[in-house]
Structure 1
Amino acid sequence: MATAPIEPPQRLVSALGGDPEGPVRAWLAALPELVQQRLDSWELTLDRVHAPGGSSSLVAFVRQQDGTPAALKFPVPGRAAAQEAAALRVWDGWGAVRLLRSDETSGALLLERLQGSVSLRSLPEAKALLEAAGTVRRLWVAPPAGHPFATVAERVAADAERLRAAGDSAGAGPLVDEALELGRSLPAGVTEEFVLHGAFRQGKVLAGERAPWLAVGPAPLVGERAYDLARLVLDRFEDLLAGSGAAAVARRRVAKLADSLDVDRERLRDWTLYRAVRAGVRESVSGDRRRGESLLEFAAYV
């Protein structure tokens, strides 16, 4: 049982506290009580709340009744929490953190404990990409019958209007037009679909005891592998842009990752452009404008 007040990390509060009347704000205010309820119900002992933590969930390091360490995660309410649990059940610890328990009402997930402060970003670039490729390969399994995941085609279609409107505001018209055309055409050419992590990058792969590296925090989809791999191409793109010959280096990265995982180079290039433009426009309009412009610059290079 916890003996000290449970406080959400400041990073989470800052990210979610902008709307004082919104449902997410209400969830944030109730979070200490929700955590305590789950600690009591699952007979867990709180070690500490992970800080600074992330911007879309609270993670607490806990111990189970037999003393085994675990992590208790509370994602922001919504469909994403249920989707994460469903994906972790599909993988059952193969390449990803193992789901021990879940609670549909609160969205709480009890996970095996990993080394939250040690991700693939702690490794040199070449080694990190090698380990990341080996990890994501394990996640690409056939979708089970009756799965609850959206498809890449559905996600892209849902984003199209928002991307077009935001692209006009960001002044990225030609690149957005190209990305929208790719979003329309690429899903039609898919011949084989897999369960995808959806948000795979080096920071989403943590050191573990059961396996050296395990993926966390999926935003699962069903679609082609190139879509998943495209997000990995974007990792540490700022470092790439800061060096000489950025365009050539970006293309080599696409080729190297595609060849290492038997993914078509052109499709990976196209999905990388799409995801770079989508992220760049979003950042330019509502986030970090400088980062958004850098992502759009990267998109033009691939």
Structure 2
Amino acid sequence: MAFEPPQRLVRALGETAPDGDDWLEKLPEFAGQAVAAGELTAERVQVPGGRSSLVVLVRTADGTPAVLKLAPPRARPESERAALAHWAGRGAVQLLAADLGEGALLLERLHPDVSVRSLPEARALLEAAGTLRRLWVEPPAGELAHSFETVEERTGRQAGAMRTSARTDDEVAPLVDAALAARDELLAAPPERLLLHGTFRQSKVLAGDRMPWLAVGPDPVVGETAFDLARLVRDRVEDLIASPSGAATTRRRIKRLAESLEVDRDRLRGWTLFRAVESGVRARRVGRRKDAELLLEFASWL
């Protein structure tokens, strides 16, 4: 079969591709090699799919449904592999094989069209938060400990890009300054050092057969739980912005999530601010103006 990447993936990777990167052009070849190496039978490419990887629905040699995921090096697939191996299926999709080629992972098949985002908002937040809690564990020791960035390292890279944008864009400068100040304060005394999902939101929690809900697509990082939970706060941001009570709803959401997961409310608010501003500035930089406007307005409430 043809392993052509969906347009959603092509657009997303095109925004961040370094000069000379030819991973997308070679992706059909990589997929074919991984299918052959694992003696898999390919059913179809998942469409619209994600923004950082190609997902192919496959069956193993014994007929077991599975998913073949292929991601470019800049998406840190080896870090994902290490995290999934450490979680061993507890709260996250099960890693079946990671020796099918560079950037290729074989995963258990979940129900890709059913995420907790399909639930009513209050229940979706509850189920998502419960799934996230199971992932917060001590990071692996030894050699695997070096597989993961820290929150300080990741946000340090992001902070550099934010400062560059603020120097040339007066409109975002005040929010960038506030977000960077929050980061400095939060990093001064982090309360814990746990393995985190890194990019958690409702659409990253899919229905499964082994467990009702399982997390997928981590970009793992080591740090405090408030950093992980912060991305969940702004889920369905378009609905929050459209609501006359969006700002009040956001404050209640921060309070409810902080209390239910025993996270400091002020630290959650601070990381929510930083992550929303970082995402908004990045969206603005690559020309996704509508996304940028939503995120920066949301950040202004914090």
Q: What TM-score comes out, normalization by structure 2 length?
A: 0.93
C-alpha separation between the residues in 1 aligned to 2:2 and 2:123?
Answer: 41
- Corresponding residue number in structure 1 for 2:233: 233
- Corresponding residue number in structure 2 for 1:7: 4
- Corresponding residue number in structure 1 for 2:165: 166
SS in 2 for 1:284: helix
Q: Does 1:99 align with 2:98?
A: no
C-alpha separation between the residues in 2 aligned to 1:61 and 1:169?
Answer: 44
User: Do 1:190 and 1:224's aligned partners in 2 also have CA atoms closer than 8 Å?
Assistant: yes
Measure how far apart 1:281 and its partner are.
Answer: 1.1
Amino acid at match of 2:9: L
Greater displacement, 144-153 / 212-221: 144-153
- Corresponding residue number in structure 1 for 2:201: 201
Amino acid at match of 1:221: V
SS in 2 for 1:283: helix
After superposition, residues 91-170 of structure 1 pair within 5 angstroms as 91-103=87-99, 105-146=101-142, 147=145, 148-170=147-169
Unaligned runs of 5+ in 2: none
Q: What TM-score comes out, normalization by structure 1 length?
A: 0.93
Measure how far apart 1:144 and its partner are.
Answer: 1.5
C-alpha separation between the residues in 2 aligned to 1:37 and 1:215?
Answer: 27
- Corresponding residue number in structure 2 for 1:76: 72
- Corresponding residue number in structure 2 for 1:178: 178
User: Do 2:38 and 2:100's aligned partners in 1 also have CA atoms closer than 8 Å?
Assistant: no
Unaligned runs of 5+ in 1: none
Amino acid at match of 2:293: E
Write the deviation string for residues 16-47 of structure 1: whole angstroms up to 9, x where unpaired: 357999453x2222222221211111111111
Superposed structure 1 runs of 4+ greater than 6 Å apart: 18-21
Measure how far apart 1:15 and its partner are.
Answer: 3.3
In the superposition, relative to structure 1, how do residues 144 and 8 fare at CA in structure 2: closer, same or farther (>3 Å)? same
User: Do 1:82 and 1:104's aligned partners in 2 also have CA atoms closer than 8 Å?
Assistant: no
Measure how far apart 1:285 and its partner are.
Answer: 2.1
- Corresponding residue number in structure 1 for 2:86: 90
SS in 2 for 1:110: strand
User: Do 1:71 and 1:111's aligned partners in 2 also have CA atoms closer than 8 Å?
Assistant: yes
User: Do 1:50 and 1:60's aligned partners in 2 also have CA atoms closer than 8 Å?
Assistant: yes
User: Do 1:39 and 1:46's aligned partners in 2 also have CA atoms closer than 8 Å?
Assistant: yes
Kindly report the root-mean-square deviation, in angstroms, between the aligned alpha carbons of the 2 structures: 1.8
- Corresponding residue number in structure 1 for 2:243: 243
User: Do 1:157 and 1:183's aligned partners in 2 also have CA atoms closer than 8 Å?
Assistant: no
